[in-house]
Structure 1
Amino acid sequence: MSRRRPSRWNGLLPVYKKTGPTSHDIVDIARRSLKERRIGHTGTLDPMAEGLLLLCVGRTTRLQQYLLKWDKAYRGRVRLGWETDTYDAEGERVGNTVQPETLSHDQIYELVEKFSGSFDQMPPVYSAKKVGGKKLYELARKGQDVEITPKKVQVHSLRLHQEDTENLVVEVETESGFYVRSLAHDIGQELGWGAHLRRLERTRIGPFRVEEAISQDELEKAPNPESIIEGPHWIPLGKIPLPFPSVDINPTAGARFIHGQEVVVLRSEAEIFEDKGPVAVRKGDELLGIGEVISIIARGRTITIRPSLVLAEQSS
């Protein structure tokens, strides 16, 4: 059996997606421009949305399960007065149109209070969430009734500003899995006017901000892969800031880790560890992989790490 050809490029590429294309369209553009098949992303953007899409390239695709957990920030515009079946501007109008009014400070405060912190959110019927192995929007387009269960979501920050009687600007910072479309719909339900999401921009994923992204046009028109890899937007695998602690180990321990063996690290080198859990294992500027802290011995001042994902390639 032939072995998979090693990826030439391994890292993250922040891209600014324009409205219109799907997230998979952007992945296809990157595959052509970078001449690399192993490319994924850390969270879908709907076609009507724009903003930050974080691409995982090469071996970095194996980190997706961890990077998907990064929190995200959005800025959107909600149209008050009527709702749609998709909860956004691309859907069919549902129900009657109501003339909205200027919101009072108390009304805005109550909305912020209601939709902040932890609460149950109902996903849109037209969404990529799967039920019984099928995406909800596929079932909805076939006219099939599906029982949707609410999901617990977490909103860290919510700011609302009414531009005029018909438009409400929403800025929200949330954990992964949150639907801004559902927020727009629920705001309309709470006010009794109906509402839908008119525009959406993702402005941040974890530590990465939209200002750091390469434009979609620049990505598509890149003359060669090197012009992207050597540019200011590329983050090499070893430089990726991960959402959990890291430890730097010596070459001997690094060789053991790469071969799937547990390693013991002096606690003085890992004082940030208080609980068991995932840890990024590095050797200098190289990210060897992800390990799991399985024991912490205070008296012996050591921690034991078991490999759970090895990213470094073994030398032949």
Structure 2
Amino acid sequence: MKQLDGVLCIDKPLGLSSNAALQRVKRFIGAAKAGHTGTLDPMATGLLPICLGDATKFSRFFLDADKTYLTEVRLGQTTSTGDREGEILEEKPVPPQLDVAHLEEVISQFIGRIEQIPPMYSALKHKGQPLYKLARQGKAVDRPSRSIEIRSLDLVSHASPLLTLKVTCSKGTYIRTLAEDIGRKLGYGAHLASLRRTASGPFTLEDAHQLPDRYEMQLDSADERIERAPELLAAEARSLVAAIRPVDLALGHLPRLDIDAAAARSLIVGREVIIRDPGLGLGLKASKPQDLADASLPEKPLYRVYGLGCFLGLVHPSEEAVGSAAHARLRLEICKLVNTSAIVASLQ
């Protein structure tokens, strides 16, 4: 097993769970530690960012990121699971020609902050039991609604009884529930026919790589699989390792902060650092992305901190420092793995 650090984006294929995809990547490239950043159901495909090694410390920032999906909604049928894999519970006729103006008017009602009731077929728990296990037993329990935000929702195409939608949403959004709610509002009922994730935080499908497989199908037999040549597998593994992106590139939505070498050494070994520079407000040489307005920053924003020529981790000024022009107290909230032994030696 190798210590590989960074983020690797995979295009998850149909029929494979997110965890199975993660384990396949981990074995294929020999990574010692890995974790994915947001589950895709087996029936869903698309972008699955995988955090490797030290990047797993930062995975919650990717879990919290907005996601974008391309989805097909099948009008006129409701199912037990809210998607095409469930039993059909009810069918209603759908006209061969859909009123586009009415479709767009209904769809627009779901844009913004809305309340959504999670589906029974989900990993959320009720008294310690996953809801999907209760659903398989034919049980239903009350689920409190949750506030989510649909950033954008566009009608891409329609061919009755199918709608193709592009959705950008906050974390915790269930696209199956959104499809059902739209179908209910239209008066036909609906279920999710397909789902493909196209973006997650700063990543898009353009960043994604095909999931490797040790085997390939024989062209003359749909049932026979043969092991691929070791040299081809090794070349694909090297290609995937080369595609691993530094974790700080994935945190580009956070403002950047640069500190001097002495402060960097102290932060890395766990010391609190006081930076004094009355001319810089908080004493920080900070730069914010141009599209991140001051008004959108939290009261105690996290910063990507850099020193000694590398990314060190995440910090935020202590509460007492906010608004002070005299000093700022910093301590690493999340630390990136660096060669601390050499730094400790330099402090002695």
Question: Matched residue pairs, number?
Answer: 308
CA distance in 2 between partners of 1:72 and 1:219 (Å): 30
Q: 2:328 pairs with 279, 293, 303, which one?
A: 303
The answer to which of 43-52 and 289-298 deviates more is 289-298
Residue 44 of structure 1 aligns to a residue in which SS?
Answer: coil
CA distance in 2 between partners of 1:83 and 1:284 (Å): 58
Deviation at 1:65, TM superposition (A): 1.5
Deviation at 1:240, TM superposition (A): 3.2
C-alpha contact 2:203 2:250 (8 A) present in aligned 1: no
Q: 2:267 pairs with 257, 270, 273, which one?
A: 257
Alignment of 1:226-241 (within 5 A): 226-230=238-242, 233-241=243-251
Residue 91 of structure 2 aligns to a residue in which SS?
Answer: coil
Distance 1:113 1:142, change over 3 A: same
Alignment of 1:161-310 (within 5 A): 161-217=156-212, 222-223=233-234, 225-230=237-242, 233-265=243-275, 266=277, 267=280, 269-270=285-286, 272=288, 275-283=299-307, 286-294=310-318, 295-300=321-326, 302-310=327-335
CA distance in 2 between partners of 1:136 and 1:37 (Å): 32
C-alpha contact 1:296 1:304 (8 A) present in aligned 2: no
TM-score (norm 2): 0.82
C-alpha contact 2:120 2:140 (8 A) present in aligned 1: no
> What's the CA shift string for 1:107-159, capped at 9, x where partnerless?
12322321100000111110122233332112211233322111101011110
1:157 aligns with 2:168: no
Distance 1:219 1:171, change over 3 A: farther
The structure whose Rg is larger is 2
Instruction: Quote the RMSD (CA, aligned, Å).
Output: 2.3
The answer to which of 64-73 and 275-284 deviates more is 275-284
Give the partner amino acid of 1:107.
H
Deviation at 1:297, TM superposition (A): 4.3
Name the structure, 1 or 2, with higher relative contact order (CA <8 Å, separation 6+): 1
Give the partner amino acid of 2:305.
V
CA distance in 2 between partners of 1:176 and 1:157 (Å): 14
Partner of 2:70: 75
Deviation at 1:289, TM superposition (A): 1.4
Deviation at 1:100, TM superposition (A): 4.0
> What's the CA shift string for 1:263-310, capped at 9, x where partnerless?
23453612648631222222265221121221234432x433222111
Partner of 1:315: 341
Distance 1:218 1:206, change over 3 A: farther
TM-score (norm 1): 0.89
Distance 1:226 1:153, change over 3 A: same
CA distance in 1 between partners of 2:187 and 2:111 (Å): 19
Partner of 2:84: 89
C-alpha contact 2:107 2:182 (8 A) present in aligned 1: no
C-alpha contact 1:219 1:228 (8 A) present in aligned 2: no
CA distance in 2 between partners of 1:262 and 1:219 (Å): 49
Give the partner amino acid of 2:328.
I
Identity fraction in percent: 32
C-alpha contact 2:28 2:212 (8 A) present in aligned 1: no
Distance 1:303 1:100, change over 3 A: farther
C-alpha contact 1:80 1:100 (8 A) present in aligned 2: no
CA distance in 1 between partners of 2:41 and 2:63 (Å): 16
CA distance in 1 between partners of 2:287 and 2:17 (Å): 43
> What's the CA shift string for 1:237-277, capped at 9, x where partnerless?
34433432221222211111112222234536126486312
Deviation at 1:53, TM superposition (A): 0.2
Distance 1:30 1:144, change over 3 A: same
> What's the CA shift string for 1:66-111, capped at 9, x where partnerless?
2211111000111111111111111111123433453324312322
> What's the CA shift string for 1:177-236, capped at 9, x where partnerless?
111111111111111111111011100011111011111137987416433222xx3202
Deviation at 1:165, TM superposition (A): 1.7
